[in-house]
Amino acid sequence: MLFISLRFLLLTGVLSLVACGGGGGSGSPASSSSSAMSSSEASSSEFSSSVVSSSSSEASSSVASSSSSQSSSSTFEVTYNDTSAYETGIHRNLFVEFQLGTQQQVDDKVGAAYQQLFFGNGSQTVMYAVGSDMAYIYAPDSDDIRSEGMSYGMMIAVMMNDQESFNRLWRFAKEYMQVKTGNLAGYFSWSLDNEAPYPATDVNPAPDGEEYFVMSLFFAHNRWGSGSGVLDYQAEANAILDDMVNKDTATVGPLMDPAAHQIVFSPVQANPYTDPSYHLPAFYELWALWAESNNQYWHDAAQISRDFFYSAAHTSTGLFPEYSSFEGAPVETSFNSNSHNSAFDAHRVIHNMAMDYAWFSKSNTLNELVERLHQFYYNEGAPENPRSYFAVYSLDGEALANYSASSLVAMNAVGALASDETIAAGFVEDLWYQAVPSGTYRYYNGLIHMLGLLHTAGEFKIYGNPALVD
C-alpha cells in the first residue's frame, strides 16, 4: 500500500515560463447554444448488470450501511463483471506489469511527483496555503483558481492518504468557491481570482468540478471517516448530488440534463449540450451504491454514458470533440475555437472509459474505443517514431497544433487498462519516463500527470469497496 504522510509547507515563489502545451477546463457562458437532445440512442455496450434485492444472500457485491470509514451506506446492490476491480478488489500496477520498475520504484516515482506538485518550489507547486487551515490549487497559465483543480487536488490527496491537505482544500472550496445564495446556491464557481478575498471571476459551475468533489468526498468518508460540519464528507457529497439531479430554478437547472440523463456543459444554458470528458460512468456506478437517494438513476446514467461514448467517437480515428450534443455530434461555440475538435478537455475521455472498463464494466465497446484511439496515436510518426502525436486534432485526424501535451501522454497511459493490444505498453512507458510538469503549464498538465500515475500504478483505488486489496 502506498502511504505518504507529508508536512504541509507554506509555499511562495516566482512563476517561471516554459513553452509547452497546456491548460484545461472551460467556462460556462449562458449564451452558448446547441439543440437539446434526447437520451443517447447509440448502440448499447456489452456491459450488463443486474439489480438484486438488498436482502439477497447471493449478491456478489454490496455496501453495508455504516457510518464508519469502511463504506458509505446504501441498500442498492448490483452484480458487476467478475474480473472487474470492484469485484476482485485488485487494481493493476501497469508499471510493474510491463516491467518498467519494481514496486518500490513505482512508489518512489508517485511519491516524488506528489511532493513536487503539492509541496515543491514556486515553479513546481500548484498548492498554496491560506492561513492555518486552508489551501487552494493555482493555475498559473490562466492566473486563477478553478473548481476543476480544487477537486482534482482533493482526489489526489485522498489517494495519497493526505487528509490534512484534503481538508485544507475542501475548507477553501466551501468558504470561497461554493455559492451561498441565489439560484446557483450549492454549486461551485468554476473560476476565482487568486488574490484575497478570492472573488469569483465566473460564478457559474463547470460540472466536472462537482463530479470530482463528490467522488473525492465519498472516498474520504470511506478511507478516514466523516467528521462534523464542513468535514462531514458523506453529507456534503450527498448534498451536492441532490443539486446535480434536482435543482430547478427559473434560470439554473440541474447538472444532469433531465431528458438526456447526461451531464451538461453548463446548467445555465437555454439549449444545453455536454462535454464528453465530463462523462464518468465509473463514478456514477459508485454513486448508485453509496448515495442516499437516486441510486437507480445513477446506475442508469452510467450505461447512458457508455452508450454516449460510442456515439461521440469518430468512426475512424476514435477522437472525441471538446463539446457535443447529447447524441454525440460535435458542437461549435463562439468562445472556444476548438470546441468541435479534439483538444485539452478531450484528452481525459480515454481515461474515463478505461477507468470504467477496469473498475466495473469490462465493456467490449469501451475496449474497442480505447484501442481505436491508441491506434490513431500510435500511427502518428510510425513506423520510424510511433506515438509522436500532438495536443490538438480535428476529429478526422488533422494535426492542429505543433506541440505535444503531458496531459495526453498521461491519459493515454491510463487507456492501457482497457486495451489488449501490445502497443498499449508503449503508452505506459511514455508516462513512466515523462518528467513531472513544472513552470507555467504545470496546473493542468501536472494534475493530469499525477492522476495518470495513480491509475497506472494501481494506486487510484475504490476506497469503500469491501473487496479492496490495499
List, by residue number, the catalytic residues: 148, 345
Q: Which of 405, 407, 429 is nearest to 416 (CA)?
A: 429
- Cis status of the peptide bond prior to 258, with omega within 30 of 0: no
Contacts with 293 (C-beta within 8 Å, 6 or more apart), sequence order: 238, 241, 242
> Among residues 110, 112, 252, which one has the least CA distance to residue 182?
252
- Dist CA 11 CA 455 (whole Å): 27
Q: Which amino acid is at 247?
A: K
Provide the 3-class DSSP secondary structure of residue 137.
Answer: strand
**C-alpha grid cell, residue 27:** 467556462
Q: CA–CA separation, 72 vs 333, rounded Å?
A: 40
Phi, psi of 134, rounded to the nearest 5 degrees: -135, 165
Question: How far is residue 23's CA from residue 398's CA, in Å, rounded to a whole number?
Answer: 21
**Among all chains, which residue has been given the C-alpha cell 455496501?**
63
| Number of neighbours of residue 105 by Cβ within 10 angstroms | 13
CA dihedral for 178, 184, 190, 194, sign (positive or negative) = negative
Spell out a b/e string for 378-393, using b for 16 or more CB atoms within 10 Å of the CB, else e.
bbeeeeeeebebbbbb
- CA 379/CA 370 separation, integer angstroms: 14
CA dist 261 and 304 (Å) reads: 7
Separation CA 51–CA 300 (nearest Å): 11
The secondary structure of residue 326, as a DSSP letter, is T
Instruction: Give the residue carrying C-alpha cell 505543433.
Output: 402
Distance (Å) of CA 389 to CA 276, 320, 401: 21, 15, 10
Q: Which amino acid is residue 80, in one-letter code? A: Y
